[in-house]
């Protein structure tokens, strides 16, 4: 298991329940580690990301064949016998299956005050944090032709949305500007330079020319880079955004390699990452049925036998 965020820990939980010997390698660089809360989890809404992961790790203690390792996987290769050799901070282990849950990295804007404001009144996910800013005036910072659609998501909650786009690298064309105008969304050309106001009490964004764009929250969308270098090493098929293509069982194009969470196509939300991790964990575990896993785990159950009546043993 490479990655110990919600998807990775979810997969590890189910591998543990199937009594598969599992090593979870976690570098601790989870995408929402700066966020105050994760939302939309049934029965735990809201919950801090730290608490969510701490409780998930504590839950793994009941599965003696699951081991958590702090570190970084620097390389993985397939061996001639069909297993995989992974290098973890200079040490090598051999495994029969791999679950990739390495997530994505958000490109954070270079603004004065960004560190203090991030996760309080600066966010990167409309679906995650839109409800918390309902009724406010919102500023969207971004680059690329997907920014208008990103900003339009916030209309479900915001009373006003303004897009700040660097005019030297235009992200909004004339057709898009017309559509935005029809929705009452203003486009301000300029370079965002600094956040104005105290953390949690944002007043707006100051541009390089001194203009103050008013707003009480900022959302940004510059780039969301999948951490897919290990997947690429293994030869997994990637989509046009660099995410790992998987089937309904979270199996990649490489036999024995599964992927889950934000690293795969689809909505990037914690509840969905957990669900994908569950699917990957169960599929990975059952793929080992009839094959012994690494010591000291017991041998998995033998393959299900189908009787002439069509029933399963």
Domains with residue ranges and CATH for the chain: 6-105+224-287 (3.50.50.60), 108-221 (3.50.50.60)
Place of tokens 């991790």: 277
Place of tokens 């964004």: 205
Q: What is the pLDDT of residue 303?
A: 64
- The residue-averaged pLDDT of 63-80 equals 96
Read off φ and ψ for residue 53, nearest 5 degrees: -70, -40
Q: Which is more confident, 108 or 145?
A: 108
Q: Tell me which of 8-22, 45-59, 131-145, 274-288 is least confident.
A: 131-145
Average pLDDT in the chain:
91
Paired tokens of 254? 């490489």
- The residue-averaged pLDDT of 135-149 equals 90
Place of tokens 């390792």: 69
Task: Name the pTM for this structure.
Answer: 0.91
pLDDT band at 310 (very low <50, low <70, confident <90, very high): very low
Q: Of 236, 228, 191, 199, give the one whose Cα is nearest residue 216.
A: 199
Instruction: Let me know the angle formed at the C-alpha of 102 by 97 and 104, rounded to the nearest 5 degrees.
Output: 150
pLDDT band at 170 (very low <50, low <70, confident <90, very high): low
pLDDT band at 306 (very low <50, low <70, confident <90, very high): very low
Residue 286 confidence (pLDDT) above 50: yes
């Amino acid at each position: 298991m490479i990655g110990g965020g919600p998807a990775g820990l979810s997969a590890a939980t189910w591998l543990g329940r199937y009594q598969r010997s599992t090593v979870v390698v976690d570098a601790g660089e989870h995408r929402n580690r700066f966020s105050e809360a994760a939302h939309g989890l049934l029965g735990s809404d809201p919950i801090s990301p730290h608490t969510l992961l701490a409780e998930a790790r504590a839950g793994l203690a009941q599965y003696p064949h699951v081991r958590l390792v702090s570190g970084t996987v620097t390389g993985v290769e397939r061996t001639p016998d069909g297993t995989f050799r992974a290098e973890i901070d200079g040490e090598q282990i051999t495994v029969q299956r791999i679950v990739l849950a390495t997530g994505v990295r958000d490109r954070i804007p270079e603004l004065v005050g960004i560190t203090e404001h991030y996760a309080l009144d600066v966010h990167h996910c409309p679906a995650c944090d839109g409800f918390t800013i309902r009724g406010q005036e919102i500023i969207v910072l971004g680059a690329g032709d997907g920014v208008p659609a990103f900003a339009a998501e916030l209309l479900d909650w915001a009373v006003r949305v303004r897009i700040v786009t660097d005019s030297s690298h235009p992200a909004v064309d004339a057709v898009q500007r017309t559509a935005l105008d029809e929705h009452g969304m203003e486009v301000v050309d300029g370079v965002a330079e600094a956040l104005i106001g105290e953390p949690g009490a944002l007043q707006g964004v100051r541009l390089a020319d001194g203009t103050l764009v008013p707003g009480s929250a900022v959302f940004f969308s510059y780039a969301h880079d999948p951490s897919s270098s290990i997947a690429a090493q293994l030869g997994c098929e990637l989509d046009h955004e660099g995410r790992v293509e998987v089937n309904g069982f979270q199996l990649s194009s490489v036999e024995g390699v599964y992927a889950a969470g934000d690293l795969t196509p689809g909505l990037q939300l914690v509840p969905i990452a957990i669900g994908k991790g569950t699917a990957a964990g169960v599929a990975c575990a059952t793929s080992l049925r009839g094959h012994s896993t690494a010591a000291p785990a017991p041998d998995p159950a033998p393959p299900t036998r189908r009787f002439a009546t069509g029933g399963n043993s």
